[in-house]
């Protein structure tokens, strides 16, 4: 018998064995998605169901659990106190179901219906994740891949520990040594601005660079310093940040309509400079090379499914390293210079990135004082 918390209404105080038995896996999955999305419509879209079907499931959940689960608030639907307390339990149940349903021999992606969950910084959405999804769909057409953006509210270490995430793609200079790690691609730091920006007319000096108005991303790792922040600290330099954005996808249009400059990775910058009138300028500060890697929880008895996903990620990384950057549109000479520099950088880093990734996969994670991706 499960009894309600003391502060719950008296009419919702008991769940008997019959009620518990009526909570099948489908209803638990609906419950978890409703509590995450806080919307019947969004839940229906995520589960590929009709809105009436999810409404019916919510009604059954309310009857079974004796609680409204979701109620209307000032800014939309919000969980009740009891409903919110069920989220962790529902996630745990679904993880256990996934574990039981996954064969523990050799993983067969072509037959798998497993859901994989990955967290990554959203600057990878434009030039890395589309290829990951394409390769995933080719190899595992019946499986599901959920990619979550890293944000200041996501405790990725706790999520890995709890099994809520299978992989985290990160670029912190000092990743948590508790987790296994393998390197993906390396990158360098450049500065983006609109192609006709005044700073493109002459070599960019340290003084002009630091005095310019900077756009910066909202930190996505809480109190943990990012690779670029670490580079500024090591150079004893402080940029003048006048605006921040929560999503990297908003950066290009913001730069095109302002006098702001943006310090970022070369691959992200060159991706957009190949399509838009943006200049990519070498920074006048010696930033350490950024390394992107994948983290996972060390579980010797885990089936080979996550190992398959890691191999897929590494393969996409190898494709990215081997691929020459597209030529930028004619315009600023600094755009063309950046393209040529990128080709030379790719050739120099490809071999060492592959070697480092292979070595990391075979040895325990090591602390590194070098700025990570």
Q: What CATH number belongs to 2-92?
A: 1.10.10.10
Give every CB contact of residue 107 below 8 A, 6+ residues apart in sequence: 303, 304, 305, 307, 308
pTM: 0.66
Give me the residue spans of the domains in the chain. Answer: 2-92, 105-373
pLDDT at res. 73: 87
What class does CATH assign to 105-373? Answer: alpha beta
Please give the pLDDT value at position 183: 95
What string of pLDDT tens digits covers the 373 residues of the chain? 333 343 444 344 344 555 555 678 889 989 988 998 889 988 888 787 899 999 999 999 999 999 999 999 887 889 999 999 998 888 788 777 766 766 566 789 999 988 899 999 989 998 999 999 999 999 999 999 999 888 777 788 878 877 778 999 998 888 889 899 999 999 999 999 999 999 999 999 999 999 999 999 987 654 456 789 888 999 999 999 999 998 899 999 999 999 999 999 999 999 999 999 999 999 999 999 999 999 998 876 666 889 999 999 999 999 999 876 544 333 344 443 444 344 344 434 444 544 544 444 444 444 433 333 3
Burial 131-166 (b: 16+ CB within 10 A, else e): ebeeebeeebeebebebbbbbeebebbebbeebbbb
Give pLDDT, residue 20.
57
């Amino acid at each position: 018998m499960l009894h309600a918390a003391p502060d719950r209404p008296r009419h919702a105080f008991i769940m008997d064995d019959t009620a518990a038995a009526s909570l099948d896996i489908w209803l638990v999955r609906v419950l978890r998605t409703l509590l995450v999305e806080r919307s019947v419509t969004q839940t229906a879209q995520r589960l590929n169901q009709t809105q009436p079907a999810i409404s019916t499931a919510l009604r059954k959940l309310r009857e079974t659990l004796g609680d409204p689960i979701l109620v209307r608030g000032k800014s939309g639907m919000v969980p009740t106190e009891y409903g919110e307390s069920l989220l962790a339990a529902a996630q745990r149940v679904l993880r256990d179901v996934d574990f039981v349903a996954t064969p523990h021999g050799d993983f067969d992606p072509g037959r798998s219906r497993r859901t994989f969950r990955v967290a990554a910084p959203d600057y990878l959405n434009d030039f890395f994740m589309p290829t990951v999804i394409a390769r995933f769909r080719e190899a595992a057409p019946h499986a599901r891949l959920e990619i979550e953006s890293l944000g200041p509210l996501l405790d990725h270490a706790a999520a890995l520990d709890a099994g809520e995430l299978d992989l985290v793609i990160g670029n912190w200079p000092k990743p948590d040594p508790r987790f296994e790690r393998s390197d993906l691609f390396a990158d360098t730091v450049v500065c983006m601005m609109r192609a006709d920006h005044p700073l493109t007319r002459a070599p960019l000096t340290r003084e002009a660079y630091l005095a310019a108005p900077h756009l910066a991303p909202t930190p996505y790792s809480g109190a943990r310093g990012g690779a670029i922040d670490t580079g500024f600290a090591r150079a004893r330099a402080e940029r003048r940040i006048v605006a921040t954005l929560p999503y990297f996808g908003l950066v290009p249009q913001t730069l095109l309509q302002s006098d702001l400059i943006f310090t970022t990775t070369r691959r992200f910058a060159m991706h957009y400079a190949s399509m838009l009138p943006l200049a990519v300028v070498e920074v006048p500060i010696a930033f350490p090379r950024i390394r992107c890697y994948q983290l996972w929880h060390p579980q010797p008895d885990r089936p080979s499914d996550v190992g398959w996903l890691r191999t897929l990620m590494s393969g996409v990384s190898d494709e990215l390293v081997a691929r020459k950057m597209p030529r930028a549109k004619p315009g600023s000479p600094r755009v063309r210079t950046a393209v040529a520099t990128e080709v030379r950088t790719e050739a120099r880093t490809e071999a060492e990135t592959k070697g480092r990734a292979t070595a990391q996969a075979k040895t325990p994670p090591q602390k590194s004082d070098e700025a990570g991706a």
